[in-house]
Amino acid sequence: MKKLMIVTLTLFSAAAFAGSPMEKGADRHVQRMTQELNLNEEQQQEVREIYREKGEEMRELHKETQEEVRDVLNDEQRAQYDQHQKDRMEKWEEKKEKWKERHGKN
């Protein structure tokens, strides 16, 4: 029963996150752990699912935190905060693109 649950969760997660950065990150962690710790197939699936679930929870918590912070700010501060967030995202995207170029990733 446990194996069936793991396989089912993995299939649903794979469909939901296929090709996403979250999936790629989880796969990288699992791959490294498999090499270093000699994980078996079942362990790999369980660890991959944990990383996916926790990654989603962290993203949701981050989003909620940003919303709560925005609620505390006045209109002028909120506009500055939003602009700062936008600038940070643009810098992050630039860094990500440069990293992809250096490492031959698409």
What are 10-63's pLDDT values in tens digits? 444 444 444 566 677 788 889 999 999 999 999 999 999 999 999 999 999 999
> What was the pLDDT predicted at 20?
60
Tell me the pTM.
0.58
> What was the pLDDT predicted at 46?
94
The CA distances from residue 31 to 4, 64, 92, in Å, are 22, 31, 25
Show me where the domains of the chain are located. 1-57
* Residue 99 Rama label (left phi>0; alpha psi -120 to 50; beta): alpha
> What was the pLDDT predicted at 14?
47
